[in-house]
Structure 1
Amino acid sequence: MLAMAEINYIRLETNTKGRSYSSVAKQMEVDRRTVKKYSEMEDFSPEAKPVQRRRAKVMDPVKPIIDKWLLEDMGKEKKFRRTAQRIYDLLVNEHGFQGSDRSVRDYVAKRKVALFEESDEAALPLETIAGTAQVDFGEAPFKHRGEEMIRPFLVLSQPHSNSFLFQVFPSQNRECFLQGMTNMFTFLEGVPHTIRFDNLSPAVKKVLPNGERQLTDEFARFVAHYGFKYEFCNPGSGNEKGHVESMVKYKRKLNLLISQSCLPDISGRQLEWQGIHMNGNITKEDILNGVFIERKENLILYGGVGVGKTLMAALAGWNSIQENWKRVRFYTVAQLVNSLLEANEKGTLGKLYKQIESLDLLILDELGYVPLHKQGAELLFQVINLCYEKRSVIVTTNLQFGQWNHVFGDPILTEAFIDRLIHYSHLIVFNRDSFRHKDSLMNQ
């Protein structure tokens, strides 16, 4: 077969310049049929090599044994399941296995995935009964007085309506447990007729041999007062209250995403949409529902000081986390540049770039407020380059594009930055007065 350079030359001479096959063949000292073949060839894809499937002589006899063990382990707690190394040792000691541990580990890893997928497909839908509930404690990061800390939270879930309530407490003691349930009953204006619990120490003093529970005095009085029927899971069988377990995980993950986002608190604030001009390719709903994130598009929010640019950016971030479980990170441009410079100095820039690459949405607030020196501007350009066509960016700015050179200090870098940012972007213009000026005491 000829080299690609020779093939390209043949196609250029015959198809573009119109030379005859014979003259090209004589010049290249190849057969005329070869020149004709490559001149008329349409598909240059390499031929697919047939997949060779060979019998694994060592593994085939023990595969049914491994499958049996893996199926048995699916019904056990994780800590009691056989590891790949344990399976290998059993095969060697009990079945005279002659293969390598690597072969066993590879097979076990692949079969676990396949077996669990088969298990999910074979699962039966659970029936839920109206008026039943499940209760459990969880832990997650929360912000208290500006400080982030791990706090327990009590969850009451209602499987039939797929809803839940939660309340954060300083502890998982009896007082918090009973007060939390009281607060939730008050909020619901009623009491579920049956509630399932784990064997929480605030409720259960002792698990008796016959499966009965010795209740704490306070919980027994609480049950008598509210008149609900209680059920307890078997020890070590949290799956028996799977709905509340899922709600605990849901709240824990949600709080983790919120904590990592560093979004500003906008509770109690509403965005007024009057005076906000958008092009025809994006709507208010696209911003609030995160449609632009799914499309990997950017938003450039342009307007004066105090017109609501940061509020819109934060609102889009909060909605994308709470509704769509997106990974979001909010920075002012100055904060991000300082973090980049510090990471570059410490040799951890790659780690910071990986964190940014894991995001679905990056929010850069206040572009234009502080000019950047050369190294900071170059590092910020690398961030935009990382996000290009892979994740969405929201930029808020009070400068027109023609003034961005004042921020970056380099016309070429500014042009490259704008080029990558605006390629898949929507410009949203805030043409209105500052709400801070409007609400100022000096104007009253």
Structure 2
Amino acid sequence: MDQYELIRTGYRVYGKSISELARLTGHCRNTVKKAIRGEPWGYREREHQAFPALGEHLAVIDGWLEGDRDKPCNQRHTARRIYHRLIEEQGFKGSESTVRRYVRLAKMQLGMAGSCTFIPCDPEAGYEGEVDWGGAIALIGGEAQRLKFFCMRSKYSGKHFVRFYPCERQQVFFDGHEQAYAFFGGVFPILIYDNLTAAVRKVMRGKDRQQQEAFSKFKAYYSLDARFIVMESFP
């Protein structure tokens, strides 16, 4: 998650204040406001937020948090626990506030910033949607032509939006989203995709995906949580 997406998601999804996002990212309040308004990101983004006091401990913290993703909430590391482990196991000399600030940022990037709760069995209204391409043959001017159709489906109601296009290029992929948002009257916070080339550059192991740059920016603008189908391998 780049910092443009982090700011917009933190503000719109997790309810973070402008001041808190400025502290977390190291950007000034005006820059944070600019990202929230969706204005172009007009300078080179830093790949990583600098935490010089943590230094080589960053990889250790990231490893602990990554290991927490599949654990029950009451077994995950708190920022305070991480701080004490760093002192006891790594000889850390920095402050607890620095650790807390980095842990908040890291958890947001890992999608662990919200409070833990149960997973409902039924999808919430207006919360999740599914996106995919399909193909069909249509008679146009008396001639059979092969067309592609963009489909977005509400997981709650099962209602579909379908729009036909001559191809599956990225431009029409984005247009399909915008037309679907107008049809449904809003944006689904979570969209589930097959591993479409318009969104995914490379399928990595498990749930990891190397996303197309344009799709990442599109996703950041709408604060989407994009999830991809995991292809199981069978013997």
Higher relative contact order (CA 8 A, sep 6+): 2
Larger Rg: 1
User: After TM superposition, is the score higher than 0.5?
Assistant: no
* TM-score normalised by structure 1 residue count: 0.24
Q: Structure 2-normalised TM-score?
A: 0.45
